[in-house]
Amino acid sequence: MEAHGVTMGRSRFSRCRPNVRSKCCQNTLENTEQYPSVVVPTSLSSFLPGGQSAAKRMARERRRRAADAGPRAQEKGLLRSFAMKRTERPGATAASSSSWDLGRICGVLALASGALGCAAFAYGLYARWWLAARTVTLHPAPRLLGPNASGPGLSPDLFWGSYRPQVYFGMKTRSPRSLVTGLMWMHQLEGDIRLRHTCEQSDGLPRYGWLLHDGVHFGVQELRDVGLSLQTEFVKRPGGRHGGDWSWRVTARPERSGPQAPFVSLLFYVATDGQGALQPQVKEKSRMASLTGVTEELGHFTITFQPPTSETGTPLYASYNYLDAKAEGLHRLSDVVKASLAPRFSFAPPGAPKRRYFGVDTYRIAPGGVQPRSQLLIHQVTVSLPCRLEVVFESGSFSERTERLAGEALTGALDRHAAAFERRFEETFGLAAKGYSLQEQRFARAALSNMLGGMGYFFGRSLVQSPHAEQPQLYPEGPLFTAVPSRSFFPRGFLWDEGFHQLLVARWDPALSREVLAHWLDLMNAEGWIPREQILGDEARTKVPSEFLVQHSSAGNPPTLFLTLRQLLAQGQADGNFLRSIFPRLQSWYDWYNQTQTGPLPYTFRWRGRDQDTRLFLNPKTLTSGLDDYPRASHPSPDERHLDLRCWMAVVSAVMADVAARIEAPAEEYRRMAETLADNQLLDQHHWAEALGTFADYGNHTSAVALERERLRPPPPGQPLPSPRLLRIVRKPPALQFVGGALGYVSLFPLLLELLHPNSPRLGNLLADMRSEKKLWTPFGLRSLSRSSPFYLKHNTEHDPPYWRGPIWLNINYLAVRALHHYGQLEGPYREQASALYRQLRANLIGNVFRQYQESGYIWEQYNDSTGRGQGCYPFTGWSALVVLMMAEEY
């Protein structure tokens, strides 16, 4: 937390006033300057334990010892007392006692100064410890979700699910130490053994993703690999006390393109996570026909592996292997399988040549390795294509089961759920009624299904760095139920992404969105901060480079969950009980932004956490804004004013006012703040750059920067030639000014978040910039940065390609389409212009995303502004799935 702008002892609305400290606090700061990490906020006495009483005692002591209130009152009081003693000594003269008195005075002053310094140092250390402890202390308000809220007793329909987005196919329960199930497969091509398990872009699958998924009951997924394709299906059946039964069906077929796989190995696995026991039931030496197990959450259960058949039900020849092993954790399952494979097994169907194949054999943990915590059972089936296999989970507490959920019963259940899903989809989004083709409807259903099928349940601790602690600390352990941006590249929770995700989910299942919102808010700490990236558990950590594991408690993120809450309010899906339960946390979150992210002037804001090394970056990144390398002031400083954050805070203030009014809490301050931040004249004053003709950030800036190779002196003879780095050079010194050369998404925020008055001439300026092909307009959507910008498509470092410097992003384009629809409905001089742009931009976005899906098989992270081709990571069915809302015109 930065000392500048912190207003913990004042109203959350009194931002950016001069930081007036009491003399006591000032002295403390002066005596702790050699300890720069010790930060004593303005009103520390108001929130340190016992702080107010301590402050009062110190005030009384000052009054007692120093009646005159000057800056050196204590010293003057001491001098007067010594002068009185000198006059009281019989026979003493000034000349005879002056040297003795002066020495004594100096000694007393030295002792007093030392004592005061020690007290200040101790107080500073205590403050530092206390503030660091608050960073890893959860919010004091009652938790929104109780310890069993996700369990089978209170939420049986959601207990089991496809909550492992990082694997191609798997299921788990919403519990901290869940039993996990999953599928791996191997091509058995000659000399080319490829194990598939976790979603990896390096696997090069031509296509994979959910075709149908309702978020609760069932899902159908297509996985196309080289030489074969898989269709995975699951369906759940409620019953008993532990979440009911479920069944899988996996159908493998040869692919027409690429080398034909003569046979394939399908590996079904079940693993514990630190508790529970599994017992395999093996037949014919190597076929695990079933297993029995028991865990704390599931009680007793049975999993049956049906023999393979053709798609018409004809039994097929197969070879079997099984493995019963111990693993160091769930993140090591792939490693265990790879280490256990041996090529000594034969596949010899009747009338066909015998072929060698790799099968699971034995696995031993290396001596001195990590203590195993998982039991892993693997059932490997090696079979010719095409084939079909089924897996049936049956809960021991489900006593009223009439038939096993397999064969025709499974087919019937899947057909019923698929038909119900398609009916509900049309009732919710109405795409058939709008005239979309069957292919376009299937595309939209897949986009929604991948959002729902990509939701995960995670449990663990974040690693957090407080500015008041020297080393990162472990955050309290907890769960998170959330959607993820990308199953392959970002299979974890991101704070600002989630607000966009839930705009789509809330249209489909408002109750699901309310639960996701509650999970995120329960992660809030005592200061009102939420870690922006949730890396919970060993499986999640394996996907993140070590340098990005630590979350910094001074770093924010756009509070997009307020967009979700605003939508739930508009849909009538947030009742008073829900709002009252979340309101204390919303207040703290709102206060945190107003206390830690304020700008240099009243009603201005500044993202903390910008990169500070101005030599390495063409323009230091602002990861906390969500827009990463979007150009900001070239030289980060406390003088910056960030336009996008101000606009976010205007929306948040309006939502807070709405929520407060609905639950009859004081709302006037929130409403006043919302009106002030949306005031177009004040917005102009802080962010309209007349010389640039647009809205802009403000800061210490120069556009005259470039990356060049450093010139190195020749090394001494015999020494290797060092590699010159690419460093930034500044050709013109920076100055405090509006940030030029950065027309793009940030410039549009007053329009994107609908803060501009419909009669504002600024609206006309922004609409013209949007439609200009020399600036932001493309046939595929709005590019993130104007083609006229000196930063357009420029690398930020040697290895840091442009990210938000030209490519088209669907989340911001969704905001643009929604805002154009809004302004197209309002009376004003730009109504027709906004309406025309709405129709064109919406058509361009939908058309391009659909085309790229048809051509590539994926929805992408971003789209090339010159060709429209998908780029970045894939599949990216986080906020890019908002194309469904554009198709439905649901804003």
Catalytic residues: 628, 861
Helix (H/G/I), strand (E/B), else coil: 201: helix
Omega before residue 559 within 30° of 0, cis: no
Cβ pair 667, 758 in contact under 8 A: no
Phi and psi angles of residue 332, each rounded to the nearest 5 degrees, phi first: -110, 10
Q: Is 33 exposed, middle or buried (0-12, 13-18, 19+ CB in 10 A)?
A: exposed
With CA atoms as reference, report the closest residue to 387 among 233, 182, 250, 210. 250
Residue whose entry in the numeric block shows the structure tokens 């139920």: 481
Omega before residue 41 within 30° of 0, cis: no
Q: Is 717 exposed, middle or buried (0-12, 13-18, 19+ CB in 10 A)?
A: exposed
Cβ pair 414, 233 in contact under 8 A: yes
How many CA atoms within 13 Å lie on the side-chain side of 467? 16
Residue whose entry in the numeric block shows the structure tokens 């209170």: 154
Biggest CA–CA distance in the chain, Å, is 130
Q: H/E/C letters for each residue in 321-341?
A: EEEEEEECCHHHHHHHHHHHE
Residue 217: count of CB within 10 angstroms of its CB? 20
463-465 vs 550-552, strand pairing mode: parallel
Structure tokens at 510: 């408002």
d(CA 741, CA 694): 11
With CA atoms as reference, report the closest residue to 631 among 689, 690, 696. 696
Cβ pair 321, 360 in contact under 8 A: yes
463-465 vs 473-474, strand pairing mode: antiparallel
Helix (H/G/I), strand (E/B), else coil: 625: helix
Per-residue CA distances from 884 to 208, 383, 430, 511, 607 (Å): 19, 39, 11, 19, 31
d(CA 825, CA 12): 35
With CA atoms as reference, report the closest residue to 209 among 223, 195, 228. 223
Say which amino acid occupies 161.
Answer: G
d(CA 543, CA 10): 42
Residue 305: count of CB within 10 angstroms of its CB? 21
